[in-house]
Amino acid sequence: MSVPTDVRAGDVYDASPDFVYAVSLLAALEGATGQDGHAMVLPFLGMARAELTDFGQRRPARYVPVHVGDLQTGLADLEERLTTLLANSQVLQHSLRLDSARRLLRRGVAAVA
Protein backbone atom coordinates (compact mmCIF):
# COMPACT_ATOMS: atom_id res chain seq x y z
CA MET A 1 0.00 0.00 0.00
CA SER A 2 1.41 3.36 -0.95
CA VAL A 3 1.69 6.08 1.62
CA PRO A 4 0.72 9.59 0.50
CA THR A 5 3.38 12.20 0.99
CA ASP A 6 2.86 15.85 1.63
CA VAL A 7 4.75 17.56 -1.17
CA ARG A 8 4.85 21.32 -1.03
CA ALA A 9 6.01 23.38 -3.99
CA GLY A 10 8.73 25.15 -1.99
CA ASP A 11 10.36 21.95 -0.74
CA VAL A 12 12.40 21.32 -3.88
CA TYR A 13 14.17 24.67 -3.92
CA ASP A 14 17.47 25.02 -2.11
CA ALA A 15 18.59 28.61 -1.59
CA SER A 16 21.86 27.83 0.20
CA PRO A 17 24.56 29.94 -1.45
CA ASP A 18 27.06 27.09 -1.82
CA PHE A 19 24.54 24.83 -3.54
CA VAL A 20 23.30 27.63 -5.80
CA TYR A 21 26.85 28.51 -6.83
CA ALA A 22 27.81 24.86 -7.46
CA VAL A 23 24.80 24.29 -9.73
CA SER A 24 25.40 27.64 -11.46
CA LEU A 25 29.07 26.75 -12.03
CA LEU A 26 28.02 23.38 -13.40
CA ALA A 27 25.60 25.07 -15.81
CA ALA A 28 28.32 27.50 -16.88
CA LEU A 29 30.69 24.60 -17.54
CA GLU A 30 28.03 22.88 -19.62
CA GLY A 31 27.67 26.05 -21.64
CA ALA A 32 31.40 26.57 -22.13
CA THR A 33 31.36 25.32 -25.71
CA GLY A 34 34.46 25.92 -27.73
CA GLN A 35 36.79 25.02 -24.85
CA ASP A 36 39.26 22.21 -25.47
CA GLY A 37 37.83 18.92 -24.20
CA HIS A 38 34.32 20.27 -23.69
CA ALA A 39 32.65 17.63 -25.86
CA MET A 40 34.35 14.84 -23.91
CA VAL A 41 33.41 16.14 -20.47
CA LEU A 42 29.87 17.30 -21.32
CA PRO A 43 28.11 13.93 -20.73
CA PHE A 44 29.77 13.62 -17.33
CA LEU A 45 28.71 17.16 -16.43
CA GLY A 46 25.11 16.31 -17.32
CA MET A 47 25.17 13.18 -15.18
CA ALA A 48 26.81 15.09 -12.32
CA ARG A 49 24.13 17.78 -12.51
CA ALA A 50 21.40 15.12 -12.40
CA GLU A 51 22.95 13.64 -9.28
CA LEU A 52 23.57 17.01 -7.64
CA THR A 53 19.98 18.09 -8.14
CA ASP A 54 18.63 14.65 -7.20
CA PHE A 55 17.16 14.28 -10.68
CA GLY A 56 15.11 17.46 -10.30
CA GLN A 57 13.99 16.85 -6.73
CA ARG A 58 16.40 19.50 -5.42
CA ARG A 59 16.76 22.68 -7.42
CA PRO A 60 18.58 25.93 -6.88
CA ALA A 61 16.32 28.78 -5.88
CA ARG A 62 18.00 30.81 -8.61
CA TYR A 63 21.15 30.75 -10.70
CA VAL A 64 24.01 33.20 -10.36
CA PRO A 65 26.16 34.35 -13.26
CA VAL A 66 29.47 32.47 -13.40
CA HIS A 67 32.22 33.11 -15.93
CA VAL A 68 34.28 30.12 -17.04
CA GLY A 69 37.56 31.34 -18.48
CA ASP A 70 39.26 27.97 -18.58
CA LEU A 71 37.50 24.59 -18.58
CA GLN A 72 40.18 22.83 -16.50
CA THR A 73 40.15 25.54 -13.84
CA GLY A 74 36.36 25.50 -13.72
CA LEU A 75 36.31 21.72 -13.33
CA ALA A 76 38.84 21.91 -10.49
CA ASP A 77 36.79 24.66 -8.81
CA LEU A 78 33.63 22.57 -9.10
CA GLU A 79 35.35 19.55 -7.56
CA GLU A 80 36.53 21.67 -4.63
CA ARG A 81 33.04 23.03 -4.10
CA LEU A 82 31.46 19.58 -4.25
CA THR A 83 34.02 18.33 -1.73
CA THR A 84 33.20 21.22 0.60
CA LEU A 85 29.46 20.63 0.22
CA LEU A 86 29.98 16.94 0.96
CA ALA A 87 32.06 17.67 4.07
CA ASN A 88 29.35 20.00 5.40
CA SER A 89 26.33 17.89 4.41
CA GLN A 90 24.04 16.86 7.25
CA VAL A 91 21.55 14.93 5.08
CA LEU A 92 22.54 11.41 4.04
CA GLN A 93 20.67 11.56 0.73
CA HIS A 94 22.43 14.81 -0.19
CA SER A 95 25.78 13.32 0.83
CA LEU A 96 25.25 10.32 -1.42
CA ARG A 97 24.23 12.54 -4.34
CA LEU A 98 27.20 14.86 -3.80
CA ASP A 99 29.61 11.93 -3.68
CA SER A 100 28.15 10.49 -6.88
CA ALA A 101 28.30 13.88 -8.63
CA ARG A 102 31.93 14.29 -7.58
CA ARG A 103 32.84 10.81 -8.86
CA LEU A 104 31.18 11.53 -12.21
CA LEU A 105 33.01 14.84 -12.44
CA ARG A 106 36.32 13.07 -11.80
CA ARG A 107 35.54 10.58 -14.57
CA GLY A 108 34.95 13.50 -16.91
CA VAL A 109 38.22 15.15 -15.91
CA ALA A 110 40.03 11.85 -16.50
CA ALA A 111 38.42 11.55 -19.96
CA VAL A 112 39.75 14.98 -20.93
CA ALA A 113 43.26 14.36 -19.57
* pLDDT, tens only, 14-36: 899 999 999 999 999 999 998 99
Confidence of residue 113 (pLDDT cuts 50, 70, 90): confident
Number of domains in the chain: 1
Grouping H, G, I as helix, E, B as strand and the rest as coil, residue 14 is strand
Residue 3, domain member (yes or no): no
Domain membership of residue 95 as a residue range: 12-112
Q: According to the model, what pLDDT value does residue 1 have?
A: 46
Q: What is the pTM of this model?
A: 0.87
Task: Assess if residue 54 is contained within a domain.
Answer: yes
Instruction: Confirm whether 7 is domain-assigned.
Output: no
Is residue 29 within 8 Å of residue 82, measured between CB atoms?
no
pLDDT at 65 over 50: yes
Cα separations (Å) of 63 from 9, 39, 92? 18, 23, 24
1 inside domain = no
Q: Is residue 6 included in any domain, yes or no?
A: no
pLDDT at position 83 is: 97
Q: Does residue 25 sit within a domain?
A: yes
Q: Is residue 4 part of a domain?
A: no
Q: How far apart are CA 41 and CA 62, in angstroms?
A: 24
Residue 106 pLDDT > 70: yes
User: What span, in angstroms and rounded, lies between the C-alpha atoms of 84 and 5?
Assistant: 31
Q: Where are the extended beta strands (E) located within 1-113?
A: 13-14, 59-60
Q: Domain for residue 93, yes or no?
A: yes
